[in-house]
Amino acid sequence: MLQSLHSNSQNAFGPRCTGSVIETQHLSKVYSRGLYALRDLSLTVGKSEFVFLTGPSGAGKSTFLRLLLMQDRPSEGELFVNGSNLSKLSRSEIQEYRRAIGFVFQDFKLIPTRTVLENISFVPQVLGVPAAQQRRRAFQVLKWVGLQHRMSAFPLDLSGGEQQRVAIARALVSDPVLLLADEPTGNLDPDLSLEIMNLLREVNAGGTTVVVATHDRELIRLVGRRTITLDAGQMVELA
């Protein structure tokens, strides 16, 4: 099933790079009064890799994801995704770039006034995909996360785990090459957390690069993937 999800041609952005999907060079983000959220960060994330980003609160995990989502611009250094320097993207190129990125947040960010299926088909809808394709593709990913029977429910009628699965389905509906997850299990109990991680592992198995920011060391140990540890905006450990 996962293979069929990725059977469509994946979105591409920038010049193709066979090695790393994410590459940073002396990346820094300075907020007001000279406070460094990230300092001199240099790392790479390979294609189809599953990477954990961890560290205490305020370590810079979310800031890094914000930079990757182009919600913020780096203050210093370079950030490349698939070979494109994100600092140099124009407004329309940012839109194009974001279409190739999936995102999952701790608070799910589902639209409460829309049904589960509408929450997912909303993405292709606002990207101008024809209506029939929107619903077909939305149903396909919803089935993949095992929630096709809840497609007419509203987000607030679902459990936290189900809401996060809907959020993952929404992230996958545009067939991204890179999936970013910011504390995706932060609101879930340990069993549901592992369930969500297994889902993300399946996504990764289909070829999508996955970056998960979490402070849950136990979960990282259970999943057992490469881990980048940040503290006070700097990389302190690469395991």
Partner 1 sequence: MRALDYALREGWASLWRGRGSTACAIIAIALAIVVLGSLLLVTWNVERLLAEWTSAAEFSVYLRDDATSEQRGAIETLIDGSGVADGREYVSKADALTRFRSEFTELAPLATGFEENPFPASVEVRVRAEAQNDGRADALVRRIAALPGVADVRYDREWLTRIASGLAAVRGTGFALALLMALAAAVTVASVVRLGLQARRDEIEIMQLVGSPIAFIRGPFVAEGLLQGGLGALIALVVLWLGFSAIGGWWGAELGAVLESGSLQFLPARFCASLVAGGMAVGGAGGLVAARHAA
In the chain, the amino acid numbered 68 is L
> Residue 141: which H helix or E strand, with range?
helix 131-144
Q: How far apart are CA 130 and CA 216, in angstroms?
A: 40
Is 126 an interacting residue with respect to partner 1 (CB under 8 A)? yes
Task: CB nearer to partner 1: give 100 or 223.
Answer: 100
Q: Which x/- pattern, by CB under 8 A, does the window 143-182 give for partner 1? A: -------------------------------x--------
Which of the ranges 1-9, 15-23, 36-44, 91-99 carries the binding residues for partner 1, by CB under 8 A? Answer: 91-99
Which of the ranges 94-102, 156-164, 195-203, 205-213 carries the binding residues for partner 1, by CB under 8 A? Answer: 94-102
Residue 128 CB, nearest approach to partner 1 (Å): 5
Q: Burial letters for 40-79: b for 16+ Cβ neighbours within 10 Å, e otherwise?
A: ebebebebebbbbbbbeeebbbbbbbbbbbbeeebeebeb
Show the beta-strand stretches assigned E in 70-163.
Answer: 76-81, 84-85, 101-105
Task: CB nearer to partner 1: give 18 or 90.
Answer: 90
- Nearby residues of 91 by Cβ (< 8 Å), 6 or more positions away: none
List contacts with partner 1 (CB under 8 A). 69, 71, 94-99, 101, 103, 109, 111, 122-123, 125-128, 130, 174
